[in-house]
Amino acid sequence: MDIKSDLMERFLRYVKIDTRSKDGQEDRYPSTDGQLDLLRMLTDELKQLELENVKMDEHGYVTAVLPQNVPTGVPAAKELPVVGLLAHVDTYHEVSGRDVKPILHENYDGGTIELPGAPGVVINPKDNPDLLKHKGDTIITSNGTTLLGADDKAGVAEIMTLLSWYRSDPSLPHPEIHVAFTPDEEVGRGTDYFDVEAFGADLAYTLDGSGVGEVEDETFCADTAIVTIKGVDVHPGYAKGKMVNAVRIAADFISRFPADALPETTEGYEDYLHPFQIQGSVTEAKITCLVRSFTEEGLKKMEQILEKLSKEIQEAEPRAEIKVDVSESYRNMKQVLDKNPKVVEYAEEAMRRVGIEPVRLAIRGGTDGARLSFQGLPTPNLSAGGYNFHAVTEWVPVQAMVKAVEVTDALMKIWVERGKP
């Protein structure tokens, strides 16, 4: 089987389906119909590969089972784990994913990549130093007017290619593999209805990471804070001494955020507050804010900042009503993965077997694996090969996607050799 050709054909086909999720759609799941289009396609393709128990449930989750294969003469542990492989089909909702026109930049020469649909929008090695690691590779981008969708259709295509490869070559050993394709990861709802017990895996991996060699075993702890401000609305012509403008108070609130605690001023293990949505009127305004830290103690400190700002503004304008409501989003999956070290160690070993030096990273964000880990399914995140996620300058080397398939195959072989940890 020609892995590269199969992988490219699938990826280029998948990215042309508009699967943007939509935030704030609590009354429906998945949040958009486009996701269901790709999920139905994947269901059909899994059936064509003759996997077992292929189904799409009422929430759109697509699952299937590939029975274990330990050919004669291949040494295997007495008891093999059931390994899950997951990827999400939705793309980032704030940038268009409609009418994606993928561009192949073959034999990349190390220079600036121009995107033909958006004059002046380029991918420059000065801003993307990893590009220079892929000289001579084929680089795929969009035409500059949309996302490419490698996040996470690269992961989807890689899993499908691996399954196709296993079906075409019975000499390849692997444990029983349970596959899942999920919607709405980009809006933080990818596992809202996912039934871990029914999925039936002992451990799992999401293929949703960025650069080659990344093994992500740590995420932020995450909360969402909603700041509600109630004002007093009167006719602006007679407002002196009477109006309390909730919109202006909201602007004041945001302006007081510490400059060194924002996503645009922090990196590594630094905490941040991110006001990413504001809506309302003179009468009432709401600020939705992401609270992020790698520790729960750090979360509390960030949330105390919000409470402090609330009290300060309330004292300055006692006629307003200000309330801060905090809800939990997810927690740092390292708390679970540290108790299951082989799940991560074997992934690193798999990378070394195919000539890649692994890089263990903490994600300044979230992944479905965070929630799954706390639901009893240890799930680190592996590289799918793409870069510049959530931007029209997104790019992915074909050879990086091929390596992701090879790494996953090597990982399956290790689980056959070692058995359950």
Among 6, 152, 158, 185, the one annotated catalytic: 185
Q: The sheet that has 359-363: what strands, in order across it?
A: 52-56, 62-66, 177-182, 83-88, 203-209, 381-383, 214-219, 359-363
Amino acid at 26: E
Among 90, 208, 217, 368, the one annotated catalytic: 90
CA dist., res. 65 & res. 199, Å (int): 9
CA dist., res. 182 & res. 368, Å (int): 9
Verify whether residue 185 is a known catalytic residue.
Answer: yes
CA dist., res. 39 & res. 58, Å (int): 12
CA dist., res. 348 & res. 360, Å (int): 8
Give the residue numbers annotated as catalytic, written as ranges. Answer: 90, 185
